Structure 1
Amino acid sequence: MAELKYMSGFGNEFSSEDPRCPGALPEGQNTPQVCPYGLYAEQISGSAFTCPRSSNKRSWLYRILPSVRHKPFKPYEQKHLTHNWDEVEPDPNQMLWNPFLVGEKKQDFVDGLNTLCGGGDAKSRNGIAIHIYTCSVSMIDRCMFNSDGDFLIVPQQGKLLILTEFGKILVEPNEICVIQQGMRFSVEVFGDSRGYILEVFGVHFELPDLGPIGANGLAYPRDFLTPVAWYEDRTVAGGYTVISKYQGKLFSAKQDFSPFNVVGWHGNYAPYKYNLDKFMVINCVAFDHADPSVFTVLTAKSPRPGVAIADFAILPPRWVVAEHTFRPPYYHRNCMSEFMGLIKGFYEAKDTGLQPGGATLHSCMIPHGPDDNCFEKASNCKLEPERVADGTMAFLFESSLSLAVTRWGLQTCNCLDKEYYQCWQMLRSHFTPLQQSKK
């Protein structure tokens, strides 16, 4: 259904051609006078031409017809996709959303995009947006591409068969997929589907530096998969619809042929997927906590060293063995914005609240941490090695930007739990100064 091969690592060159057309890739040069099989050569660039070799991203596509052959773009109905961060007043409160509703409307992936929060600006190429998708029907004779940035897609319910110009990718819950800027794709679903999307403007996702961790740990480059070339050569009588996301707005254009007509490709700029079970967890084995940055799968760096526009981190099943330590996440205020989603299972720092398909947002410098039940249990339990998060996968979208919540997130989606703050109201003082003075 969806052929995949191993990537040789971020930034390295790789290639693929449809097995039906051996020799589709030209030898010795990218643009011969006549390409094999009479194909057109087309380059897609994910970076400026003059970027250093280590960060230069581009791929050559050899296709039956070039992507330029389409009618003019016209505005497309926006629905709940937006980059207007000022449509409602700022709200600094801790936020919890119950599972986002799916199946209420028969809509495909594009029409099911709902912007929850974000910050920055697509025009200046600096910022992020967080979307929720809910859909129940496949995209038929239409595709989408994002001129603003990269989509990191996190399915929570229902598998997605994503057809791209580079080939097919089957993505299931507990896997992620990255569709990079400019790449055309279409989404087929197999029933009610729901998930999360982290969109970044102006930069691409990459593996985090490992620092003192050394050569091994976290996500390994060899575990990222990219598709094998696959083409379809067909005309569409009623017209094929190409939807463009440009400066936060949607536009559509018509053409009479499938955009998925790439017979072969080579380069280092391609869509890819990753299975979260392959993440090699780093954790504390003595006392206290390592910072949650040790759970980072992918990062989108900002110009400031060590500061990310966005990090994608996970909280996978793992052993906890720290001694003399309050083991759940500590209470904290963070200069980063923290958005958390739950793919499956039960988040260990909340006895109630966050559910699969739901989310939380803790904005810059807004305090958060375990609820009162979690605090009492962790403060009084016997500290033995224990397995946590079995059957669970929670994740974080963390950003250095201050995120604004949209009207859909605050009002229209009807999933916001306005009683979320109550989970901390039963925390009580354990202060015992006389007892301490006797010691």
Structure 2
Amino acid sequence: MIRRIAFPLLKGTYSRQAHADLPEQGVFEREVSREGFYGPATHLHHKHPPTGWCAWSGEHRPRAYNLLKLPNAQSSPWDAPLLFHNAHCQIRFWQCNGNMQTLVRNADGDDLIFIHQGHGELFCDYGHLSVEQGDYVLIPRSCLWRLEPTKPMTLMMIEASNDYYGLPDKTIVGQHAIFDQAVLDTPEIDDAYLQQQNEQPWQIIIKRFNQQSIITYPFNPLDVVGWHGDVSVVRLNWLDIRPLMSHRFHLPPSAHSTFVTSRFVVCTFVPRPMESDPGALKVPFYHSNDDFDEVIFYHQGEFFSRDNIEPGMLTFHPCGFPHGPHPKAYRAGCQSQRKETDEVAVMIDTRDGLAIGSSMPDVEWAGYVDSWKE
């Protein structure tokens, strides 16, 4: 086991409390943290914004994409564009406009689906579940499922490759904080489920090692009549998330963790009151999260720390450089211009570096790297 070097040091001009009561006007705080926002950290105080670069060359850079411009309507989720990937995570964006004519099964890992647009009916091994915009739907590895949209659906799919999803440890705030597990919905063996069972041929498209195979049955294999246990498809809507808040301290993204795996975490940013204490930062602090790559998908509202980012867009901040609020958002925060946030966004922080999918350059906003310039 590695024993970390961990002892507090104080040098030069500093604040006694991170993210609050900065030493003087015109000083910009940057957090250098390990293990995401869970590990040791140092707070550096700069004369200039840590994102105040004037030029950038090379492929390693902050990036932004408009996912709504990706190719439309794939019949199978495994054909949907791959946005980012590594050995432990695959992120896809899928537009499902009509009833799926085949069943699908992911033998590579759990899938977490976030429904950006639309609504419909999910049929799976565990029964029938109505799903809608703003839902997370957790599908266990190798579960059979299909969708019947009642309105065309646009979905973010996050695969935990060779892994599974769980809930974050809520420690001192208790198990009912952020959301109570009683708000989680599971499928039902109802009339709609029983009525879709038939003796007609059905095919299953299985993804394993990112290759597709097809199994044909002379009947519908979604023929379950009952079950018991603690493995199931689970649904959570962002409206059921009650975010942690502090009026005197800007909480780190880790406070908004929703689902976790062994190699990445999924966080949800939802509307909340802004910090009211005069000395507290009111925008995300500049930070160097040097063990993780960060992906944020913007679902709705106006993201209060970014300019020119709209619903359906996605930003990518790989580790290796500081990032934080745009200049206009930082000034607005210092002046306490807003009293609450209205954005809904999904953040994926991965412990392992992400490769960019081949479709992404076609929908990239090339000027994003310059958006921090005054």
TM-score, normalised with respect to structure 1: 0.67
TM-fit CA distance, 1:100: 2.2
Of residues 321, 343, 358 in structure 1, which corresponds to 2:299? 343
TM-fit CA distance, 1:112: 5.1
Tell me which amino acid in the other structure corresponds to 1:246. Answer: R
**Long gaps (5+) in structure 1:** 1-89, 121-126, 303-308, 427-439
SS at match of 2:197: coil
TM-fit CA distance, 1:399: 1.4
- Computed over aligned residues only, the root mean square deviation of the Cα atoms, in angstroms, reads 1.9
Tell me which amino acid in the other structure corresponds to 1:119. Answer: N
Of residues 331, 340, 351 in structure 2, which corresponds to 1:387? 340
Q: Does 1:370 align with 2:325?
A: yes
Query: Percent identity among equivalent residues?
Result: 21
Tell me the distance in 1 between the aligned counterparts of 2:116 and 2:252. 26
TM-fit CA distance, 1:179: 0.7
Tell me which amino acid in the other structure corresponds to 2:83. Answer: L
TM-fit CA distance, 1:111: 6.1
Other-structure match for 2:155: 195
Tell me the distance in 1 between the aligned counterparts of 2:320 and 2:157. 24
SS at match of 1:257: coil
Other-structure match for 2:283: 328
Other-structure match for 2:267: 313
Tell me the distance in 2 between the aligned counterparts of 1:130 and 1:208. 20
TM-fit CA distance, 1:280: 2.0
Q: Does 1:129 align with 2:97?
A: no
Structure 1 residues 337 and 290, CA gap change in structure 2 (3 angstroms)? same
Asked whether the equivalents of residues 98 and 357 of structure 1 are also in contact (C-alpha less than 8 Å), the reply is: yes
Q: Does 1:405 align with 2:356?
A: yes
Tell me which amino acid in the other structure corresponds to 1:395. Answer: V
Tell me the distance in 2 between the aligned counterparts of 1:247 and 1:150. 14
SS at match of 1:171: strand
TM-fit CA distance, 1:318: 0.7
Tell me the distance in 2 between the aligned counterparts of 1:106 and 1:249. 20
Asked whether the equivalents of residues 186 and 233 of structure 2 are also in contact (C-alpha less than 8 Å), the reply is: yes
Structure 1 residues 221 and 253, CA gap change in structure 2 (3 angstroms)? same
Other-structure match for 1:157: 117
Structure 1 residues 380 and 174, CA gap change in structure 2 (3 angstroms)? same
The one-character-per-residue Cα deviations of 1:373-427 (angstroms, maximum 9, x if unpaired) are: 1122222346x8x2221xx3112111111111121223xxx2111111121121x
TM-score, normalised with respect to structure 2: 0.78
Q: Does 1:222 align with 2:212?
A: no
**Long gaps (5+) in structure 2:** 1-57
Tell me which amino acid in the other structure corresponds to 1:216. Answer: H
SS at match of 1:419: helix
Q: Does 1:423 align with 2:374?
A: no
Tell me which amino acid in the other structure corresponds to 1:110. Answer: P
The one-character-per-residue Cα deviations of 1:195-232 (angstroms, maximum 9, x if unpaired) are: 21111023221111112323431121111111112334
Other-structure match for 1:169: 129
Other-structure match for 2:138: 178
Tell me how many residue pairs correspond in the alignment: 311
